[in-house]
Structure formats: C-alpha cells, structure tokens
Amino acid sequence: MPAAAPSPQAQPQKTDIKETLTSIIIAFAMAFLFRGFVVEAFLIPTGSMAPTLRGQHHQFKSPDSGAEWAVGPPMQARGPVRGFDPYTGRELETTFRSRAGDRIFVMKYLYSVYDPKRFDVVVFKNPTDPTQNFIKRLIGLPNEQLALIDGDVFVRTPKADDRKDVSPWALDGWKVATKPERAQRQLWQPVFDSSYAPLRDTGWRSPWLANDAESKSSNAWTLGKTGVYELTGTAPARLDWDADRYPIFDVYGYNVLPNGNEYPVDRARGIVLQGANGGNTYPVSDLRMSLGVKPKAAGGTIAATVQSRRHLFRAEIAGTSVTLKMRPLTNPEGPQDPAWKTLGTATLDAPLPVDNVSNLEFWHVDQTLQLWINGDQVASAGYDWSPQERLANAMQLTLQDFAQAGNPLLQEARYTRARAWWDFSGAPLSLSRVSMDRDLFYQPGVHSGAYGGVRGVPALATHPSTTLETSPDQFFVCGDNSPSSLDGRLWETVNPWVMEVEPRVGVVHRDLLIGKAFFVYFPAPQWPYGVPMPDVGNMRWIW
C-alpha cells in the first residue's frame, strides 16, 4: 500500500482587533456581574470587629513572651503608641507606622438561595448614613424578641397572648443563643497561655497557683519558666487560677483611648480598669480552660471547674468515664454542700494515653458545658436558665430592681467574678499550653444623646424596658469589640433616606444587608525596612 500522505500542519487562526475587543468587553462584563451579584471586596477601616477583623492598627510583639497582638491607632498623628501584652499585662511602646485594615471578600446575600444566619459577620449599609458600609456580627433575626443579659444573647418567639403588663424578661420561652463551634473558636479572647511565659522577666509570676489539694502546699509541682508544669506523685493536687490578682474582665489589647494614652491600668495585677472611652469593664464568666496533658502513668483522674454565677460547673475524666455536672455554691468548705446535678455523661474509647499528649478543653459558655479532647467534642450539656434566673445568679438582681432609679446592669460590682481550677490525682503528669480564654461579652450601656437620641436611655436590648422585638425584615447587629463598637445597641437616629424603608432606630432592614464576610484575602501588610509586604500568614476564613 502506498504510504499515507502527511496531514497538513494546522495553521494558527488569526485574531483581529474586533474579536480582541469583544473578549475584553465580555471579561469586564463578567467581572462586573460577579462583583455586583456574587462577591465583592471591602476594606476594614476601624476596630469595632477587633480582633476578629482589624482596622487600621499597630502591630506589637513582646520581646519577653513572643506574643503578638494588634493595637488600634490613637487619634493623635504622631508620637509613640502604648500597648499591653494580653498574656502578661506588661506595658510596651512602639513607634512603627500603623498598618491598614484587613481586606475581605463578602458573599452577597441571594435570598432565593440562602438567608442570613445568627452570628454571621455581615456587611450592610449604615442606617444612620447609607453612604457608609458597616461590618458587624448578626445576633438578632426577624420575628423574635432579643435581650442581652450578662454578656449573652437571649431570644424567644413572641406569642399573640403575651401579657403586656409584665416585664418582657418575665415571659416564658427564653433561650440562650449558642454560637456555632467555628464562630465560638474565633471569638475566644486570650487571657493567658503558658506558652507565652516571659523567659527574661524575673518579676513576672504565673496566674496559675499550684498546690496540693490536701496540704495547700506546692511541693508536688514544678512550674518552670518554659511554660511546662510538672506534677510528681499521685496525691490529689490542684492548679488554681489566681482570680484575686488576675480577675477576668472584658478588656481588649486592641483598644486605646481617643487621646492616645493607655487605659488606666493596675500594674500590680496587670489589668485594664476601664473600657473604651472611659466606660466600664465587666467580669466575664464564659471561659475556656485548656491544656496539653501528658500522663506519666495510668489510672489518673482529671477535673476542670469554673466557679461563677453562685454555682460550680465541672467536667471530670476518670479512665474512660466523662461527667459534666453542676451544683449551687452555698458552703463550699462545709458538710452541707448540695448534691451535684449530672448534666451529661460520655464514654471514651480508651483512657488518656500514657506518655502521649492529649489536648483538653473545658468550655463554660452560653449556658453550656462542653469537653473537647484533641479537637473533638466528647461531651456537651446545658442548663436552661431564664433571664430571671440568670439575673438572680449572676448579679443577685430581681426584675423589681429595675423599677428603681438608675440601671443596675451598669454596676460592675454586681457581676459575679469567675474562679477556675484544675484537679489531678492518681498519676504524675506534665502540662503544657496551660491556657485561659474568655468569651465575647455584649456590654450594656446608655445613650449619650450626642446624635439626637435621648440621653440616659438604656441601650437597645440591654434592659427590660428596651427589649427588642423584630419585624419580618429586621435584623440586629453588634460588633465583636463590644466596648468600642457603635452598633445597634446605641444608634440614635435613622437617615431620612433609610426612614422610608425602615424608620426604627437600632435595626437593619433586609434591604440594607449586602452580604456575609467569609475570607480575609489581603491582611494588613507588614512594613519591614519601610517596604510593604503582604502578611500571607494571616489570610484566614471569617466565622
């Protein structure tokens, strides 16, 4: 057979100017459609969502502990900026130039596909000035009543037969809104981590006090500067948070006062005494205790306890048995202690392994107790207190107290200060990354009257008289940096343009919502040697 003739080589097609312009126009059109209807980029200008999202700020790093944190810039243009190490309370100073805010992607809401969910981080048109875009956390949904009590979010569904002659907080059906795991992990605020123990600061002392449960001595413990705590022997021993010297308040390392000075600080205890703009700070009882435990022998037991709201909340691990329980705190040292109430139990596949590190987390948050081992939730249970029970236990208040002059919720001394400790027995062990974190605390407040509101009126949803009840198209939002966030609690006016759609002060109408923030694609750049460099390591999802 004759050989087949070689096929002719394909000739490249010529592209004329018309086709090129058409392709460019289509690409731009697709980009604008994508930006207009799917995803849009925004820049975070301020610290109302710090530290979840950072606005313009200064970045600090402690030379002693190695901890890094952001501090919002003062209003003064020049001069040093002071900050306080969130782990040690030590004061530092920097003159480095400020960084811009985070740049984020926002997935626009397509109501035919999905609706906003509680605790989404949302971008919306500011009802007081719709030329501005705001970003806050969505905590109130349509068709519900909402109250902020002792830092938590309480919600209920209104009923047609609700009595109008009683306080809304006295009605039945209230529940605490529990944050999803990913949002909760984003919202834990660091109080201490033994990994950041300052190696060169000889005057610093750990906030964890080590003692033998029986003798109150610390002979069985070695608390080294490396952040690793060693326990010898098998007798009961305790690691106790020093709540007298290190009380846990809702303070943020990010915040500075408007005049550029630091907050008033008790340097002996290393705590900030006031919130943003000179406001109050409040004790926080929603805590996460965590550590890495390495048993040196089998047969040990471990328990974590939070004391707050006139109760003890406890998680115990004994072999493969896990128990979550609580009891009232009446006489902790005497024989008349009330019995423990078991809230939940679980069984592990095996005891904690010997000579291997297991990461334990005990959460007391949103009226739940949760135990996590190596990132997995092994037990969870809740206690279903109403607003009245929460007021009574956390602040020793009744609803009748609100009829008197003044707002008792603004009195910091009324709030319960939390204590916490770990108990160990039965086996020697070593501990690492011994940490304490606190939850976000939504503060009460009063209107200043500076922007047209009535001076002295309690902030929206923070008092029985200002309980929020939303319509089918209303949402309620607050900032994660609660002491320094002008949000739905304290808005005082509605822009005339917005009033045609939503005249109510303090809420966000559905038509003003833009979308859900989901990714920090360009964190605030670093400036090594005066040259901007992208901080790729801080690219992250937003929860």
Beta strands in 159-205 (DSSP E): 175-176, 189-193
Nearest-angstrom CA–CA distance, 63 and 475: 44
> Domain 208-241+286-438 belongs to what topology?
Jelly Rolls (2.60.120)
Nearest-angstrom CA–CA distance, 288 and 269: 21
Spell out the domain ranges in the chain: 208-241+286-438
Residue 223: other Cβ atoms inside 10 A = 21
Structure confidence at residue 221 (pLDDT): 83
How many residues in the chain? 543
Amino acid (one-letter) located at 274: Q
Structure confidence at residue 532 (pLDDT): 67
* Residue ranges of the chain with per-residue pLDDT less than 50: 1-3, 6-8, 10, 12, 214-215, 257-278
Structure confidence at residue 268 (pLDDT): 43
Structure confidence at residue 19 (pLDDT): 59
- Residues 249, 250, 254, 259, Cα dihedral to 10°: -80
Beta strands in 30-182 (DSSP E): 39-43, 58-61, 68-71, 81-84, 91-94, 103-108, 121-126, 129-140, 145-149, 152-156, 175-176
Q: Which of 13, 32, 29 is nearest to 21 (CA)?
A: 29
Structure confidence at residue 255 (pLDDT): 80
Q: What tokens does 503 get?
A: 């005249």
Q: Count Cα atoms within 13 angstroms, Cβ side, for 180.
A: 11
